[in-house]
Amino acid sequence: MEAKKKIGLKYAYYRSFFALIVIPILAVILVSVMVIRATLADSSVDNIKKAQDNLVSVLGREVQDVSLRLSHFVYVNNNEIIKMAVKTDTTDFSERYHYTGVLTESFNYAMVPVQDIISAVFYMKDGISTYLKDDVILGDGEIRSSAWYQEALSDPNIVKIGYYDIGIVASGRKAHTFTIVAALAPGRDVDRDGKVEMVSLFVSSEVEKLMKRYNHDPFLGITVLLDQEGKVLLDSDGGEKLLPQEEGMDWIRQGQFWRRVDGRKYAYIVTREPVSGCYFVSIVPAEVMSRNFSHVGAAVLAVTIVLFLLFYRFSSYFLKNIIKPVHKVVEGMKQVEEGSLEVHVMPEGQEELRTMVHSFNHMVRQLKALICENEEHQKKKMEAEIRALQSQINPHFLVNSLSSIRFIAQVSHYESIGKMAEALMKILSCSFRSNSSFYSFGEELDVLDGFIYLMKIRHSDGFEITYEVEEECKSCLVPRLILQPIVENSIVHGFAELEDRIGHILLKAWYEDGFLLVLVEDDGKGMSQQEICQILTEEETVAEQDQRARGRKSVGVSNVNSRLILNFGEQSRLKIESEPGRYTRTIMRIPVRVLMEKAREEES
Supply the pLDDT for residue 434: 46
Report the 10 Å Cβ neighbour count for 242: 20
The residues, ordered by sequence, that sit 6+ positions from 120 with a Cβ below 8 Å of its Cβ are: 73, 107, 111, 131, 132, 133, 199, 200, 201, 202
Identify the segments of the chain with pLDDT beneath 70.
1-10, 112-115, 170-176, 247, 292-294, 319-320, 323, 349-350, 380-437, 499, 538-555, 593-604
- For the chain, how long is the longest CA-to-CA vector? 188
- Residues 9-35 pLDDT 10s: 667 777 777 787 778 888 888 888 788
Q: How many angstroms separate the CA atoms of 510 and 294, rounded?
A: 89
Domain 460-603 sits in CATH 3.30.450.20:
no
pLDDT for 405 equals 64
Residues 100 and 84: beta-carbon distance below 8 Å: no
* Residue 311 CB neighbours (<10 A): 15
From residue 592, alpha-carbon distances to 24, 36, 506, 512, 516 in Å are 57, 73, 22, 10, 6
Q: Shortest CA distance to 114 belongs to which of 201, 54, 185, 184? A: 201
Domain limits, the chain: 1-289, 293-390, 460-603
DSSP 8-state code for residue 223: E
Q: Quick: pLDDT tens for 537-566.
A: 754 444 444 444 443 333 478 888 888 888
Task: Give CA separation, 185 vs 148, 188, 430, in Å.
Answer: 11, 10, 139
Kindly tell me the sign of the dihedral angle through the C-alpha atoms of 435, 436, 437, 439: negative
CB burial of residue 289 (10 Å; 0-12, 13-18, 19+): buried
- Quick: pLDDT tens for 160-209: 999 888 777 766 555 557 889 999 999 888 888 888 899 998 888 888 88
Of 553, 247, 285, nearest to 395 (Cα)?
553
Instruction: Give the Cα separation of 210 and 280 in Å (integer).
Output: 12
Distance between CA atoms of residues 206 and 209, nearest Å:
5
Q: Which residues contact 506 (CB under 8 A, 6 or more apart)?
A: 465, 466, 468, 519, 520, 521, 522
> Who contacts 151 (Cβ-Cβ below 8 Å, separation ≥6)?
160
Question: Does an H or E element contain 341, and which?
Answer: none
Sheet holding 575-579, edge to edge: 463-469, 503-512, 515-522, 583-591, 575-579
Give the H or E element holding residue 575: strand 575-579
What is residue 141's predicted lDDT score, i.e. its pLDDT?
87
What local confidence, expressed as pLDDT, does residue 335 receive? 77
